[in-house]
Structure 1
């Protein structure tokens, strides 16, 4: 099973140490939110130079705040620093409260924006020149130099039908957050696979990201998750993917329970069509250290098994 963790760190040194430990423990990947150290790419490059096999990916960098030509250069530069095909670029449009309310940019057409963004970015990451005329972007650009190992893999954060189609047609797959096994089986996998097949592309990756906690009191764990991850229940895209998963909110989507229950939940994600699981451990209860240790021990065993 390909199991990864959330990449984190409040210093470059901590990011590097986490990567070294995750690789030693057998984890397949680390997935870094855009907020890590303000921008995770420099720290990821350094972590990549301190490791040899673990995949390092972004989950995800927002598209609106970085022109696709610049994004391609940043991605190929990071991949070159790491070496080989171990860097994966995950991007997504983010959400109206971030892009429009915080940054003051229009979020009127996120679907069209993202589709055109991928139309520019994907060929550049393959080393192809771009001549693109759309409503959002008009671009003439030569590709950046590809790193050793070839093109940079691209994943799209896709929760709805349009972006799942784009992900299947034009990228290596999708990276999800808050998508349950039911949502993957009934909504995500059929759409992205159909789009990839129609485009003559290989079977797409489906990276399933969910919070995880090994804790015997399931009600307590779900209540903690409902509080910690409450924002995802307020954003329309996440509301829809939660509904596809048959759950009312983030507290119901998370993988919690004893070791057997959490392992069963992880295996269910793979059975539903996930190619990778991105586990985001969160602590629960009065003894949060013990909760962390139990969760880490289970995930390490599954990653190494």
Structure 2
């Protein structure tokens, strides 16, 4: 099981420079990968390409680009460019997105998200594997009157989905290379998420999917205070039905209940629980919430466990 971190520089003068600095620190600590979120700020595939080229010791990934407001042709170009820039170390994560951000931000209706995901993945797989597409779906069209291959990315791009619900897991098992569940504890992974996506992959004749568990976690001696900070930091996700459901399936009431918080021994034990639940990779997020000292302490432990 590999271990990585999500990079989120706090108040940088320049987000790109700060991300490169953090990535170098992650590599020095012995971590395997660095991941970047996507909202309305930095372009995460481009950021991953820059960081991956500057820090060749790390794999880099996007977690995750919403399928609403994007098009497979454009995202394929971005992903293939990142793959060529990193010489095969880029991993693209997709997400259904949320009704709140989709409708408020893009002014488009958040309708039939799973159907859109299926069509998006189908077209994107054609593009990243062959450099061309001739896809005419109900919701999307993607054709290539000109070549869409990026030299240097001929091996394709691993496609992952931030899927946790039954329908999204089925589509991901059939069409993606793995999943990126977030705020899903070991119980939800073992009992609901991993069996569903694995069964879908088997039925489609695909290899066993990667299970990249994104985990909010911090090493600290003051677990109560840090968990209180995380409660505020993660409260947004409790408004989103898919996250509320997976929090409950994990045995929690608040998003922070699913976070991994404690000393080195406690955090290491929780990471083993994720492995036992079926995670093939663990990526720690929100490590910066309790300050730089706690982040460095967390990364030190994660690097030791990765080694």
- Cα distance change on mapping 1:157 and 1:108 into 2, 3 Å: same
Which residue of the partner structure matches residue 297 of structure 1? 300
Aligned positions of 1:202-217 closer than 5 A: 202-217=207-222
**Structure 2 residue matching 1:135: 3-state secondary structure:** coil
Change (3 A) 1:290 1:17: closer
CA distance in 1, matches of 2:142, 2:295: 47
Query: Size of the alignment, in residue pairs?
Result: 300
- 1:203-239 CA distance string (max 9 Å, x none): 1101101111122333322222111110011111101
For residue 124 of structure 1, give the secondary structure of its aligned residue in structure 2: helix
Looking at structure 2, the residues matched to 249 and 167 of structure 1 have their Cα atoms a distance apart, in angstroms, of 26
Query: What is the aligned partner in structure 1 of residue 162 from structure 2?
Result: 157
Q: Contact 1:16–1:43 at 8 Å: present in 2 too?
A: no
Task: Go from structure 1 to structure 2 and tell me whether the alpha carbon gap of 1:146 and 1:206 turns closer, same or farther (over 3 Å shift).
Answer: farther
Matching residue of 1:14 = 18
Matched position secondary structure for 1:248: coil
1:167 aligns with 2:172: yes
RMSD: 1.8
Alignment check: 8 A CA contact 2:120 2:140 kept:
yes
Please say if residues 61 and 92 of structure 2, whose CA atoms lie closer than 8 Å, have aligned partners that are also in contact: yes
Specify the SS of the correspondent of 2:181: strand
Partner of 1:32: 36
Structure 2 stretches lacking a partner, 5+ long: none
Q: 2:5 matched to which residue of 1?
A: 5
**What TM-score results when the alignment is normalised by the length of structure 1?**
0.92
Structure 1 runs (4+) greater than 6 angstroms displaced: none
Q: What's 2:138 paired with?
A: 135
**SS of structure 1 residue aligned to 2:180:** strand
Structure 1: runs of 5+ lacking an equivalent: none
